[in-house]
């Protein structure tokens, strides 16, 4: 907390929020810039010729293409000039060329991004909702069988690799029970439109969402329970109880909002991990997002795509954190712009 | 003594210790129990579990013994889990100690650096690092360490900041001890408990990350690992469930055991912070 007298905009709430927004925007821009520089360093630190790295290995780049890359990135120029060139390219939306797919990397990623956003957003909502509900329930029923069951489940899913959960889900729900589709985002060749297409996608979304979400559900359940118990031990709750307010009402009116807010904050910071998990989930379910793209790029040693996906995921995460910060500030005005 | 009694109060923590002990034993004895390389086919392909008493967990499509794979996989998981955590702790402690002790500009700079690494998606970065520097046991270990040190740095910074103003540290300053010496001999020993608790939980995360990387084909080609076994089993899911089920259970059980130990350590070392997570 900064002492208020040090802030030039003290007492002026809208201005303070603008100030805060500005600070956060700059911070976010620096993170993205950092990733661009990191990518650049990786290309140069990688074993072998940077041009070959940019072309993608495994015999993908022919001589002409590599020569063209050398010229384009000025690889005979000093290193700092190469960095400037690289930065300039990225700033103008040029993330390189996927020789393997014969498409600019940016185009490839933009085409795949919506599928990943859909999957991660639905997994995020699923895990946050279920996690908070289970955590509140466990805290409310502390010490009972329900509490033990919920917490044991959380402990187990917190220790399970999510790609394995995905495979087991396919084994049970697709292969044995034949309830849910094991891969793809839409039924091939069905050509649904409107609501039918929406329903088809939702149907395909169930398994990937649940398997990606379960690890995070476990995490949020544990956090919510701990947070609830902490708030429940505070003085104002004791006061309410002493006044004779019914327990359910105390939980609803007093504990819940104080306990759940930190979980939301933590969850939004964790959004980056969700994108990481999407690489695994999309790989198992052949989900046509950037995670799957990253896996294919790995198999083909298509480094421009790999680095491009890395940059875009970082940008997405930074954006999500920014929005979460702002929302949090609106929901809880006690929070000062820290740093 | 009181430490162990507090630790042993938790049934789960003891179970975790017992399980981890068994996994460790299996890892150490792997070459004795299974003298043949786990990469070599030793039986008929695709034997189910208990079909042949010689291969209680069955074989894969090349006739490799699943049980042998699990034993050798334990070596990789534990080795990478422990070494990458150790490296991450060294990085995190160094950065956190410098930032917390000196404060000011140094603190600002180091914390921005830490925030940067904490913001960017860890797993995506680990993938990129391992892919570009080729998957070897060293590159995998370092990549995991590079993406997992920030929480340690933040933790250590906080501890150093609060301890810096305490009398015993002030006394050391008055006596004329140098900064590094105060950090190492006065402050660091007092921050060990939370570092140990955090590190124990990081080993579990590191094992999960390692298995995820090798599942994606980013494992060391010379070392059998659980993630690789599950990755190889993917295409055989319909025909041979045991190929993917057993390695997954191995990961689950090991990570669960380490998490239980971490929680036990947390309760034993920070009795006043019971129930606090992370």
Cβ contact A283–B216 (<8 Å)? yes
Q: What share of chain B is helix, strand, coil (3-state, %, to 5)?
A: 75, 0, 25
- Residue range B218-243: average pLDDT? 90
CATH of domain A111-338: 1.10.3720.10
Evaluate whether A317 touches A270 at the Cβ level (below 8 Å): no
In which band, very low, low, confident or very high, does the pLDDT at A337 lie, cut at 50, 70 and 90?
Answer: very low
In which band, very low, low, confident or very high, does the pLDDT at A13 lie, cut at 50, 70 and 90?
Answer: low
Tell me how crowded residue A116 is: count the other CB atoms within 10 A of its CB: 28
Q: Which residue has the tokens 């699943």?
A: B66
Over 70: is that where the pLDDT of A10 sits? no
pLDDT of residue A1: 41
pLDDT digits 0-9 by tens, A221-256:
999 999 888 888 888 888 888 888 888 888 888 888
Nearest to A275 by CA among A223, A239, A310, A225: A310
| Angle at which helices A105-140 and A271-285 cross, to 10° | 110
Beta bridge partners of A97: A104
- Output phi, psi for A153, to 5 deg: -60, -45
Burial zone of B22 (CB within 10 Å; 0-12 exposed, 13-18 middle, 19+ buried): middle
pLDDT digits 0-9 by tens, B33-49:
888 888 888 888 888 88
Min Cα separation A208/chain B (Å): 16
With an 8 Å Cβ cutoff, is A260 touching chain B?
Answer: no
Beta bridge partners of B59: B65
In which band, very low, low, confident or very high, does the pLDDT at B206 lie, cut at 50, 70 and 90?
Answer: very high
Q: Residue B182 and residue B277: Cα distance in Å, rounded?
A: 29
With an 8 Å Cβ cutoff, is B131 touching chain A?
Answer: yes
CATH of domain B11-28+67-270: 1.10.3720.10
Q: Which SS3 state, helix, strand or coil, does residue A62 take? A: coil
Beta strands in A45-196 (DSSP E): 97-98, 103-104
Evaluate whether B259 touches B219 at the Cβ level (below 8 Å): no
The alpha carbon of B200 is separated from its chain's Cα centroid by a whole number of angstroms, namely 7
- Residue range B43-68: average pLDDT? 85
Cβ contact B124–A156 (<8 Å)? no
- Residue range B210-234: average pLDDT? 92
Higher pLDDT, A193 or A296: A296
DSSP code of residue B182: I
Min Cα separation B277/chain A (Å): 7
In which band, very low, low, confident or very high, does the pLDDT at A339 lie, cut at 50, 70 and 90?
Answer: very low
Six-digit token pair at A248? 């359910």
Q: Residue B260 and residue A328: Cα distance in Å, rounded?
A: 33
Cβ contact A298–B131 (<8 Å)? yes
With an 8 Å Cβ cutoff, is B274 touching chain A?
Answer: no
Nearest CB partner across the interface for B237, out of A171, A230, A317: A171
Beta strands in chain A (DSSP E): 97-98, 103-104
DSSP code of residue A3: -
Higher pLDDT, B51 or A296: A296
DSSP code of residue B194: H
- Residue of A216, A225, A276, A321 best to disrupt the B interface, most CBs of B under 10 A: A276
In which band, very low, low, confident or very high, does the pLDDT at B254 lie, cut at 50, 70 and 90?
Answer: very high
Evaluate whether B183 touches B99 at the Cβ level (below 8 Å): no
Six-digit token pair at B229? 């076994």
| Angle at which helices B122-132 and B192-215 cross, to 10° | 60
With an 8 Å Cβ cutoff, is A52 touching chain B?
Answer: no
Residue A312 makes CB contacts below 8 A (sequence gap 6+) with A109, A113, A290
- What residue spans define the domains of chain B? 11-28+67-270
* Distances A186 to A201, A278, A283 between C-alpha atoms, Å: 5, 18, 16
In which band, very low, low, confident or very high, does the pLDDT at B186 lie, cut at 50, 70 and 90?
Answer: confident
pLDDT digits 0-9 by tens, A162-185:
999 999 999 899 888 878 887 777
With an 8 Å Cβ cutoff, is B116 touching chain A?
Answer: yes
pLDDT of residue A99: 75
With an 8 Å Cβ cutoff, is B251 touching chain A?
Answer: yes
Higher pLDDT, B140 or B5: B140
DSSP string, B40-109: S--S-TTPPTTTSTT-TT-B-TT--BHHHHHHHHHHHHHHHHHHHHHHHHHHHHHHHHHHHHH-HHHHHH
Q: Residue B222 and residue B140: Cα distance in Å, rounded?
A: 13
pLDDT digits 0-9 by tens, A45-74:
877 777 777 676 545 557 777 777 777 766
CB pairs under 8 A between A and B: 136
Nearest to B126 by CA among B141, B111, B113: B141
Min Cα separation A337/chain B (Å): 15
With an 8 Å Cβ cutoff, is A168 touching chain B?
Answer: yes
pLDDT of residue B271: 57
In which band, very low, low, confident or very high, does the pLDDT at B111 lie, cut at 50, 70 and 90?
Answer: very high
Cβ contact A314–B120 (<8 Å)? yes
pLDDT of residue A59: 53
Evaluate whether A307 touches A39 at the Cβ level (below 8 Å): yes
Q: Residue A177 and residue A171: Cα distance in Å, rounded?
A: 9
Instruction: Give residues 134 to 163 of A whose Cβ lies within 8 Å of B.
Output: 155-156, 158-163
């Amino acid at each position: 907390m900064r002492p208020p007298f040090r802030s030039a905009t003290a007492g002026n709430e809208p201005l303070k929020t603008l100030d805060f927004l500005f600070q956060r925007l700059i911070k976010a821009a620096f993170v993205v810039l950092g990733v661009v520089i990191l990518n650049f360093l990786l290309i140069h630190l990688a074993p072998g010729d940077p041009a070959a790295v940019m072309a993608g290995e495994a015999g993908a780049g022919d001589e002409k293409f590599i020569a063209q890359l050398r010229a384009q990135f000025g690889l005979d120029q000093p290193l700092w000039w190469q960095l400037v060139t690289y930065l300039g390219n990225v700033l103008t939306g040029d993330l390189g060329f996927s020789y393997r797919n014969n498409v600019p990397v940016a185009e490839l990623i933009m085409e795949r991004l919506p599928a990943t956003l859909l999957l991660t957003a639905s997994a995020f909502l699923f895990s946050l909702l279920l996690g908070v509900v289970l955590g509140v329930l466990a805290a409310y029923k502390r010490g009972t069988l329900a509490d033990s069951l919920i917490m044991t489940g959380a402990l187990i899913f917190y220790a399970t690799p999510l790609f394995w959960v995905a495979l087991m889900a396919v084994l049970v729900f697709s292969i044995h029970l034949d309830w849910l589709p094991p891969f793809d985002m839409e039924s091939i060749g069905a050509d649904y439109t409107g609501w039918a297409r929406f329903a088809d996608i939702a149907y395909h979304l169930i398994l990937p969402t649940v398997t990606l979400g379960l690890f995070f559900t476990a995490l949020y359940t544990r956090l919510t329970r701990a947070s609830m118990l902490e708030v429940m031990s505070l003085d104002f709750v004791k006061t309410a109880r002493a006044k004779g307010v019914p327990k359910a009402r105390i939980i609803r009116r007093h504990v819940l909002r104080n306990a759940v807010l930190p979980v939301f904050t933590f969850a939004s910071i964790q959004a980056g991990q969700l994108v990481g998990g999407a690489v695994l989930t999309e790989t198992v379910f052949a989900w046509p997002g950037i995670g799957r793209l990253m896996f294919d790029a790995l198999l083909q040693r298509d480094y421009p795509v790999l680095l491009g996906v890395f940059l875009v995921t970082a940008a997405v995460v930074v954006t999500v954190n920014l929005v979460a910060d702002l929302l949090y500030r609106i929901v809880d005005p006690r929070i000062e712009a820290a740093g | 003594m009181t430490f162990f009694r507090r630790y042993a109060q938790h049934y789960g923590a003891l179970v975790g210790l017992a399980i981890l002990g068994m996994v460790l034993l299996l890892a150490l004895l792997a070459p004795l129990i299974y003298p043949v390389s786990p990469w070599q086919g030793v039986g008929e392909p695709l034997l189910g579990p208990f079909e042949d008493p010689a291969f209680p967990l069955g074989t894969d499509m090349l006739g490799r013994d699943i049980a042998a794979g699990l034993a050798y996989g334990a070596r990789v998981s534990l080795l990478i889990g422990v070494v990458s955590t150790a490296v991450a702790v060294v990085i995190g402690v160094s950065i956190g100690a410098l930032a917390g002790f000196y404060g000011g500009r140094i603190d600002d700079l180091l914390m921005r650096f830490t925030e940067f690494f904490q913001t960017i998606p860890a797993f995506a970065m680990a993938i990129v690092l391992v892919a570009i520097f080729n998957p070897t046991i060293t590159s995998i270990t370092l990549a995991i360490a590079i993406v997992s040190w920030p929480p340690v740095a933040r933790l250590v910074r906080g501890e150093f900041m609060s301890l810096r103003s305490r009398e015993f540290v002030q006394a050391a300053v008055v006596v004329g001890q140098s900064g590094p010496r105060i950090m190492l001999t006065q402050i660091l020993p007092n921050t060990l408990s939370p570092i140990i608790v955090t590190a124990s939980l990081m080993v579990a995360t590191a094992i999960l990350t390692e298995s995820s990387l090798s599942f994606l084909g980013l494992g060391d080609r010379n070392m059998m690992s659980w993630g690789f076994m599950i990755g190889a089993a993917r295409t055989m899911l319909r025909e041979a469930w045991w190929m993917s089920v057993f390695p997954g259970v191995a990961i689950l059980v090991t990570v669960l055991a380490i998490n239980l130990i971490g929680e036990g350590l947390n309760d034993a070392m920070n009795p006043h912070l019971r129930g606090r997570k992370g």
